[in-house]
Amino acid sequence: MRRLLFEAAYQGTRYHGYQVQKNAVTVAGTIQDAVEKVWGSREGITGCSRTDTGVHARQFFFHMDTDHTIPTDAAVRALNVNLPGDIAILSCREVASDFHARYNVCYKEYTYQIWNSAVKNPFLDGLAMHHKYPLDVERMHTCGQEFVGTHDFRGFCSTGSKAKPTALDGGESTIRTIYSFEAERQGDMVLLRVCGNGFLYNMVRIMVGTLLMAGPYQLRPGELTAILAGGDRADAGITAPAAGLYLTKVSYLPFEGKDGGPNG
């Protein structure tokens, strides 16, 4: 039995997220359709993360166990032939049988795209958030540094989340570590990048929505720290639209190390 690790990228606009769902078109389901055509059977795949409806991925990994002897480069070519244009397999390699696409992840990076112009860009529909009012990107960057570190992010997850401050009851903890945060402007495009060991449901989109308050006379340095400490979802900002969110990096090496593929 071989364990294959695939690297993929996809535009999530027309999908109901990554995870397979009944009666809904998803990224994983579409990939499994292609696998079935190539392998002759519907093999299970395990993704490195779950992305929501409309969220995109520039780097995504999934593993699959198979007895098939197909070479890894041929597997890439064959799957791409059978996938729609908005999903691509970038690479494939054999990994150790105990390697896990999700549990071996050391950190992830998300990038959020904001088209900051009075006029919308029709070529970015579904691919970026349109925000027509001027943004103070320098203030956003400064305020965003307060996310860095280990915090309880219970105020920055969807109200429907089952995560709790501790995982002693078998649930998911709301404590996460953020390694870095950056905000930069490239013309009319504002990019927000956040890197961490994990993220709660809608966490990045709420972080973005909160930083949108970082305009004149609104969110000031120090206030994010208080919002984090309070843990009240009502104190944070809106949940920014899914269209602007991209999973841009998945690393199987520690944050201090070099980015790349699996350790073994």
Instruction: Give the count of beta carbons closer than 10 Å to the beta carbon of residue 96.
Output: 12
Q: Which of 114, 106, 136 is nearest to 204 (CA)?
A: 114
Domain boundaries, the chain: 2-95, 107-251
| Residue 114 burial (10 A CB sphere; 0-12, 13-18, 19+) | buried
pLDDT beyond 50 at 239 = yes
Higher per-residue confidence, 263 vs 184: 184
Residue indicated by tokens 């219970």: 154
Q: What percentage of the chain reaches a pLDDT higher than 70?
A: 91
Q: Which two tokens stand for residue 1?
A: 């039995």
pLDDT beyond 50 at 168 = no
pTM: 0.91
Strand, helix or coil for residue 87:
strand
User: Going by C-beta distance under 8 Å and a sequence separation of 6 or more, which residues neighbour residue 252?
Assistant: 104, 105, 106, 260, 261, 262, 263
**pLDDT for 129:** 97
Query: How far apart (Å, rounded) are the C-alpha atoms in residues 140 and 242?
Result: 19
User: Going by C-beta distance under 8 Å and a sequence separation of 6 or more, which residues neighbour residue 143?
Assistant: 211, 214, 219, 220, 221, 223, 224
Strand, helix or coil for residue 112:
strand
Q: Could you tell me if residue 149 is left (phi over 0), alpha (psi between -120 and 50 degrees) or otherwise beta?
A: left
pLDDT beyond 60 at 169 = no
Q: Which CATH class is domain 2-95?
A: alpha beta
| Residue 162 burial (10 A CB sphere; 0-12, 13-18, 19+) | exposed
Task: Show which residues are catalytic.
Answer: 52
Judge: domain 107-251, CATH 3.90.45.10. Answer: no
pLDDT beyond 60 at 263 = no
**pLDDT for 203:** 97
**pLDDT for 264:** 40
Given this chain, do its domains 2-95 and 107-251 carry the same CATH topology?
A: yes
Strand, helix or coil for residue 149:
strand
- Cα angle 149-152-157, degrees, rounded to a multiple of 5: 115
pLDDT for 30-71, tens place per residue? 999 999 999 988 889 999 999 999 999 999 999 999 998 999
- What is the amino acid identity at position 20? V
DSSP secondary structure letter of residue 173: B
CB burial of 211-239 (b: ≥16 within 10 Å; e: otherwise) equals bbbbeeeebeeebbeebbeebebeebbeb
pLDDT for 199-227, tens place per residue? 999 999 999 999 998 765 578 889 999 99
User: Going by C-beta distance under 8 Å and a sequence separation of 6 or more, which residues neighbour residue 71?
Assistant: none
pLDDT beyond 80 at 110 = yes
Asked if residues 201 and 161 have their Cβ atoms less than 8 Å apart, the reply is yes
pLDDT band at 236 (very low <50, low <70, confident <90, very high): very high
